Amino acid sequence: MASLSRESILNIFLTLAMVALPFVATAIDEPFYITLATRVAILGLAGVGLNLALGTGGLVSFGHAAFFGVGGYAAGILASHALNYTPIMESPFLIEGTNQMLIIWLVAIIASGIVAYLIGLLSLRTSGVYFIMITLAFAQMLYYFAISWPAYGGEDGLSIYVRNAFLGVNTLAPHGFYFICLGLLFGGIFLSATLKNSRFGAALQSARQNEERLSAVGVRPFNIKLTAFVISGMMTGLAGALFADLNRFVSPSMLSWHMSGEIMILVILGGVGRLYGPLAGAIIYILFEFIFGGMTEHWQFFLGLVLLGVVLFARGGVIGLIAGRARHD
Partner 1 sequence: MTNPILEIKNLKKSFGALKATDDVSITLNVGEIHALIGPNGAGKSTLIKQICGGLSSDSGSVIFNGKDLAGLDVAERAQLGLGRTFQISSVIMEFSALRNVMLAVQAFNGSSFRFFKNVRNDKVLVARAMEILSRVDLEKRAEISAAELSHGERRQLEIALALALEPKAFLLDEPMAGMGPEGSKRLISFLDELRKEAPILLIEHDMDAVFSLADRISVLVYGRVVASGTVDEIRANPAVREAYLGETA
Partner 2 sequence: MTAALFFEQLLNGMQFGVTLFLMAAGLTLVFGVMGLINLAHGSLYMIGAFACAAVAAATGSFWLGLVASIVAAAFAGAIIEVSVIRRLYDRDHLDQVLATFALILIISEGCRFVFGSFPLFLDVPAILAGPVILPGGLPYPIYRLSIIVVGGLVALGLYLLIAKTRLGIRIRAGEADREMIAALGVDIRTLYTIVFALGAGLAGFAGAMVGALQSVQVGMGEPVLILAFVVIVIGGIGSIKGALIASILVGVVDTLGRVSLPSMFGLFMDPSAASSIGSSISSMLIYVLMAVVLIFKPEGLVSQNG
Rg of the chain over CA atoms, in angstroms? 20
User: If binding is defined by CB under 8 A, does position 238 make contact with partner 1?
Assistant: no
194 binds, among partner 2, partner 1, none (CB under 5 to 8 A by kind): partner 1
User: If binding is defined by CB under 8 A, does position 325 make contact with partner 1?
Assistant: no
In the bound state with partner 1, the residue whose beta carbon lies nearer, of 84 and 210, is: 210
- Is cis: bond before 92, omega within 30 of 0? yes
Phi, psi (5° rounding) for residue 316? -80, 0
Q: Which stretch binds partner 1 (CB under 8 A): 20-28, 138-146, 205-213, 233-241?
A: 205-213
User: If binding is defined by CB under 8 A, does position 284 make contact with partner 2?
Assistant: no
Strands (E), the chain: 158-159, 249-250
User: If binding is defined by CB under 8 A, does position 219 make contact with partner 1?
Assistant: yes
Query: Is the separation of the CB atoms in 232 and 107 below 8 Å?
Result: no
257 binds, among partner 2, partner 1, none (CB under 5 to 8 A by kind): partner 2
Q: Which stretch binds partner 2 (CB under 8 A): 12-20, 65-73, 211-219, 293-301?
A: 293-301
Closest contact distance (angstroms) between CB of 303 and partner 1 is 31
Among 60, 61, 112, 62, which Cα is nearest to 243's?
112
User: If binding is defined by CB under 8 A, does position 60 make contact with partner 2?
Assistant: yes
Query: Is the separation of the CB atoms in 239 and 40 below 8 Å?
Result: no
**Which of 216-250 are b and which e, b meaning 16 or more Cβ less than 10 Å from the residue's Cβ?**
eeebebeebbbbbbbbbbbbbbbbbbbbbbbbbbb
Which DSSP string do the residues of 51-78 spell out, in sequence order? HIIIIIT----S-THHHHHHHHHHHHHH
Closest contact distance (angstroms) between CB of 52 and partner 2 is 15
Q: Where does this chain bind partner 2 (CB under 8 A)?
A: 54, 60, 62, 122-123, 125-126, 128-130, 132-134, 136-138, 140-141, 144-145, 147-151, 257, 261, 264-265, 268, 272, 298, 300-301, 303-305, 307-308, 311-312, 315
